[in-house]
Structure 1
């Protein structure tokens, strides 16, 4: 009997790869859009992959989801309507709906297969979010939805995959322009922009688009262990001064929310916008 462990090799980047030991394969299916797998790993728990690229893990997803939701919501201070583009695992909805002040969350996911198997195989990630009456799940292409929506959102969160396959349209300038129209005055858009050390062009393209659309265009950072190559960048665009909300105000809002995250704090929020030199150079 061969006891050699099975390893999944992820090669998102052309000259760099990471590997994760596969202790068990819990789900493996090819949908109309992509290959979905859920594997078990001792360190990361259950891991969702799309075309063998890690999307989310049970153990470290809190970092990614907390930073893409709580930073814009607490910075805004009065957000009641949120739009999530992507996020089929339900983690982003989970964190957005933890805010008592949020009255409505629209979640636009292109692939219903992601939602259904996430409910079954990754239930701890959504943690009941799909049953919250404030959530409106829309199965549609995010780019098409944004062209026609009149949602008037306070915050738009783009929880996209990497800019290949079905996620590619969510990095286009036209998508960002349509999203800008869907924001209320003072609204904020945040985006997943990959690991700048490995994917610098991705961040630069988004920042160029944001600079043409918003008075305040930058990014902030968080380190997610399962996304190799350094800290992740999250794009930030708004016409308001929300980024400059002082730490005492953020702390007051945080305490009033009753939310007890594992990663987010008011101090981490402010520090996340302090960019290393190599990342600042990627912003035109």
Structure 2
């Protein structure tokens, strides 16, 4: 058995752990909200953990960030104002700003996360914090959502797991405030963990979505860092945006002049095809 001294061991799921060898620790500090560690890994490049749970890595973050932004934004097709709850590493803002949007508002509870990500994980934000279209708000996401005047075409909830500061972002009240903050035809998407390991998380979100939206569903992507199979994302809208066809999606992608490392129109459509064990988690 490997000696785990010098390894970051994550025990998020009961009876299961994953470990990353910390080849070099670059940052280790406890803020008012959580303990943040950044280290270098042979397999994943620079890795950030919050309270021992991996949040983002240099090598595979593109899958998570592309799927949580481009699926709703290309499905909508005309989004001008985007709200990101969480996302202190800047990756979600990075991808959203690749679209011809007027403004991306990013609400992060911990200013320390933003500042150290700028210094230790700059490739993840890739200049997003310097884009004049980014409106960075250091605030509690639940408070912001309750108090905002709204007017957002797409809302992306890039939360941690439903423990600690992130727990309130998985409540019916929070989702209700998010629905109110959407424009007509707007889309709400959420991070819902790995359903093979934490199925109740997806079930709870979609139960709330079912009472709020005409179209409540989920879509999937395989993110190597998040062990246990596919990662799930919640989807809620009153529009028919989920039905947009591949040809229309391709036209929208081509209009941006962008190419992506994971997202394609075909992947977009296929992501909504759910295996049986995930379908059974839907209320």
Q: Same fold (TM over 0.5)?
A: yes
User: Would the alpha carbon gap of residues 113 and 249 (structure 1) be closer, same or farther in structure 2, given more than 3 Å must change?
Assistant: same
Q: Distance in 2 between matches of 1:4 and 1:225?
A: 21
Q: Distance in 2 between matches of 1:56 and 1:119?
A: 14
Q: 5+ residue gaps in structure 1?
A: none
Is 1:33 equivalent to 2:33 in the alignment? yes
Q: Distance in 1 between matches of 2:251 and 2:170?
A: 34
Is 1:45 equivalent to 2:29 in the alignment? no
Is 1:252 equivalent to 2:219 in the alignment? no
Is 1:146 equivalent to 2:145 in the alignment? yes
User: Would the alpha carbon gap of residues 14 and 102 (structure 1) be closer, same or farther in structure 2, given more than 3 Å must change?
Assistant: same
Q: Distance in 1 between matches of 2:4 and 2:201?
A: 37
Shift of 1:43: 1.0
The question of whether the paired residues in 2 share the 8 Å contact of 1:83 and 1:106 is answered with yes
Is 1:222 equivalent to 2:221 in the alignment? yes
Shift of 1:260: 1.1
1:60-107 superposed Cα distances (whole Å, 9 cap, x missing partner): 0000000000000000010010000000000000000011x2110000
Report the counterpart of residue 121 of structure 1 in structure 2.
Answer: 120
The question of whether the paired residues in 1 share the 8 Å contact of 2:150 and 2:180 is answered with no
The question of whether the paired residues in 2 share the 8 Å contact of 1:33 and 1:166 is answered with yes
SS in 2 for 1:136: strand
Report the counterpart of residue 275 of structure 1 in structure 2.
Answer: 274
1:145-176 superposed Cα distances (whole Å, 9 cap, x missing partner): 00010131000000000000000000000000
Report the counterpart of residue 62 of structure 1 in structure 2.
Answer: 62
Output the TM-score relative to the length of structure 1.
Answer: 0.98
SS in 2 for 1:199: helix
Q: Which runs of 4+ in 1 moved over 4 A?
A: none
Is 1:89 equivalent to 2:98 in the alignment? no
Shift of 1:5: 6.5
Q: 5+ residue gaps in structure 2?
A: none
Shift of 1:4: 8.2
Q: C-alpha root-mean-square deviation of aligned residues, in Å?
A: 1.0
Q: Distance in 2 between matches of 1:22 and 1:110?
A: 27
Output the TM-score relative to the length of structure 2.
Answer: 0.98
Q: Distance in 1 between matches of 2:226 and 2:21?
A: 15
SS in 2 for 1:150: coil
The question of whether the paired residues in 2 share the 8 Å contact of 1:247 and 1:267 is answered with yes
1:227-247 superposed Cα distances (whole Å, 9 cap, x missing partner): 101110000000000000011
Q: Distance in 2 between matches of 1:183 and 1:8?
A: 39
Report the counterpart of residue 190 of structure 1 in structure 2.
Answer: 189
